[in-house]
Amino acid sequence: MIYAITGGLGFLGFNLAKHLTSKGHDIIIFDNMSRKGSEHNLQFLKQLHMPKKPQSITTVTSDLDDIPTKLKRYKVDLIYHFAAQVAVTKSYESPASDFRINAEGTFNLLRSVDVPVIFSSSNKVYGDNVNQIPIKEEQTRYDFDGEYSEKGIPETFSVDASKHTYYGCSKLVADIYTREFGGVVNRFSCLYGQSQFGDLNQGWVAHFIISKLKNQPVTIYGNGKQVRDILYSDDVVKLLELEALNIEKIRGEVFNIGGGYKNTISLLELCEMLDIHPMFEGWREADQKVYYSNISKARRILNWKPEIDAKEGINKLQKWWEDNKNLL
């Protein structure tokens, strides 16, 4: 198979490319190299696979607007579309850019290709509706109280919220168009894993670990009881591979993807695990106090479930960063 991955040198794209090339597939990577760590990821892929099969990875340095034109040079079987503006905070700083990249960029890609697209969406498409669910407060975390407790948010949960973040709006537009064009949508919760260069705006598990290694302070916005379900990169990659193998069965579908209730963790609980003593500031606008995914649809249709639990995954990522301190 020949796969194209937009944003293929970012955290998710890189881990997928590494896995697919190890299975013998050819990969066309589109990336503008703007994310920290993209150069490292590119060099790692070349060192790992290209000596054995030089044609297995083709990289195209490209802005999002150029991808549809440049894609026509290659005969690909499927596109993984991960190129995006990924931070809620940055969507408020530059909403026009956020819309151009996430909504317009995705639409332009979809209308210019005739192969399936698997799209990386977000739980933020549910907007403020998530904050209307009753919650209960415990010593180190919040949790849903009622019908969603220990089950999580299903794909049928309403996206027709009274308020979204700008990021949530742009992702929802792209989400809808992807399904209209016969693609597959993954509404991801919190992903983490190797080669994630997390920062204050995105990739918070990696950000906490990196800050600890650099002896830098960690700032929590709110009280730290916010809860998310985290999903390790190896498990995400297995899902994405299964979706490609079953693409004709699942075209037009949407999946809520995260670690599920068993892999929920709060900011305070992660700080305790890493022996971090954080500073606190006020709540960020539109922050969801609790979000975790109901992943039963992916399990039912694709026979997929997370295999790496939160503790194991955090330990694996911590060790990876300890072994790669030279990249800090």
pLDDT in tens, 153-210: 999 999 999 899 999 999 999 999 999 999 999 999 999 999 999 998 889 999 999 9
Residue 33 forms part of a structural domain? no
Among residues 89, 45, 51, 81, which one has the least CA distance to residue 64? 81
pLDDT at 294 over 60: yes
**What pLDDT score was predicted for residue 169?**
96
Q: Judge contact between 130 and 288, C-beta under 8 A.
A: yes
Q: Judge contact between 223 and 290, C-beta under 8 A.
A: no
Which amino acid is located at 259 in the chain? G
- Other Cβ atoms less than 10 A from the Cβ of 110: the count is 21
Residue 200 forms part of a structural domain? yes
The structural domain count of the chain equals 1
pLDDT tens for residues 268-291? 999 999 999 999 999 987 789 999
Three-class SS of residue 141?
coil
Residue 16 forms part of a structural domain? no
Which amino acid is located at 306 in the chain? P
Integer angstrom CA distances of residue 76 from 14, 26, 27: 18, 9, 9
Of 17-31, 58-72, 89-103, 258-272, the one with minimum mean pLDDT is 58-72
The reply to whether 292 belongs to the active site is no
Catalytic residue among 167, 192, 232, 261: 167
Separation between Cα atoms, residue 42 and residue 58, nearest integer Å: 10
pLDDT at 41 over 60: yes
Grade residue 52 by pLDDT with cuts at 50, 70 and 90: low
Three-class SS of residue 62?
coil
Residue 187 forms part of a structural domain? yes
Residue 212 forms part of a structural domain? yes
- Other Cβ atoms less than 10 A from the Cβ of 6: the count is 28
pTM reported for the whole predicted model = 0.95
Grade residue 217 by pLDDT with cuts at 50, 70 and 90: very high
What domain range is 245 assigned to? 84-327
How high is the mean pLDDT of the chain?
A: 94
CATH number at residue 213: 3.40.50.720
Grade residue 126 by pLDDT with cuts at 50, 70 and 90: very high
Q: What percent of the chain has pLDDT over 90?
A: 81
